[in-house]
Structure 1
């Protein structure tokens, strides 16, 4: 639905403080990409989402590529704080607890990351940041599995478990079935419990 210039002018603009403005614009960029993909990411779309003028977006980022890279860098920087992969207890019952809630609570962040993963196939310059992001997730999974299992988790087992978790996130994001995610996580915990019993 398009908005006429008169309606747009009548809308009050949000005031974005300089100190938090950049982060607010990055959050707006994440939501724009999550909704419409990278093809919908424009200065105007981000400005409208954030409730500011598009000149402010230009001021903070200078180019669309800089905006994309900054949003991805923010995702990398905040991934550890939002990750539920490492509760640190070593109790298999705690493993990945809260994963379904995280997807329900932050679907835009998850969708943004998948969009950028696919984009990195076309734009290899994004791949190092994508690798950094996923290395953080993988390493958190590996550390927690090493706490759960008597012997250190092998890279192959960690990759298998992480891939299962990643698939569950993607399916919940698309199908919006958190109960299915929770049931699958319970089965994964049972498999890990069985492996622990065998060692």
Structure 2
């Protein structure tokens, strides 16, 4: 048996496969990067396939519809962001609150940008809002739990949302302006406020 040899100049170029993950997770990571760079309108089967280095048909096979791809990418992004955040991992001391936030932004900017793109798109596509809201509840609850570990008495929704909004705003500003040191300064001030509440 002999190997077939293609004439020089007629060899087919093979698509380079990016190994960001395996299977479905790799496709979801690719979807996150596509949306982070070009917005939700750029999210197509072909764009995801090209980003992941796979065939268009493989993306169709895994998700079946663009809406299913979007929904699963949102879930994937929030879960990945929660697992990389420091909410819920502190020692219950204000001095430890949100440590690692700046590193999280620097190590996963696409993940953060994807979420902001989806939030803005939800204003134009209300069908996204229900899913986003239920997933954001996980952020809100993680913030409330962490505050409850460090503050006396019950933590109400207003306080937990205020603190989460501060964190989310700092992430957005670092993502856009790249001013890590400003984020760190603001977090230091936030921890001082929380220390005051803990002592009070």
Q: Does residue 158 of structure 2 align to residue 156 of structure 1?
A: yes
Paired position in structure 1 for 2:34: 32
Aligned length: 189
User: Match for residue 93 of structure 1?
Assistant: 95
Q: Is the 8 A contact 2:32 2:77 kept in 1?
A: no
Give the SS at the match of 1:89. coil
Decide whether aligned partners of structure 1 residues 87 and 77 sit closer, same or farther in structure 2, where only a CA change above 3 A counts: closer
Give the corresponding residue for 1:103.
105
Q: 1:132 to 1:78 in 2, by over 3 A?
A: farther
Q: CA RMSD in A?
A: 2.0
Greater helix fraction, Structure 1 or Structure 2: 1
Q: 2:167 aligns with which of 165, 168, 178?
A: 165
Matches within 5 A, 1:107-146: 107-146=109-148
After TM superposition, which residue ranges in structure 1, 4 or more long, deviate above 3 angstroms? 76-80
Structure 2 gaps, min length 5: 1-8
Question: Post-superposition shift, 1:15?
Answer: 7.9
CA distance in 2 between counterparts of 1:147 and 1:194 reads 15
Q: Is the 8 A contact 1:42 1:64 kept in 2?
A: yes
Conservation of the 8 A alpha-carbon contact between 1:87 and 1:94: no
* 1:44-123 superposed matches below 5 A: 44-123=46-125
Q: Which has the larger radius of gyration?
A: 2
Equivalent position to 2:16, from 7, 13, 16: 13
Normalised by the length of structure 1, the TM-score is 0.88
State the SS of the aligned residue for 1:10: coil
TM-score by length of 2: 0.87
CA distance in 2, matches of 1:84, 1:15: 29
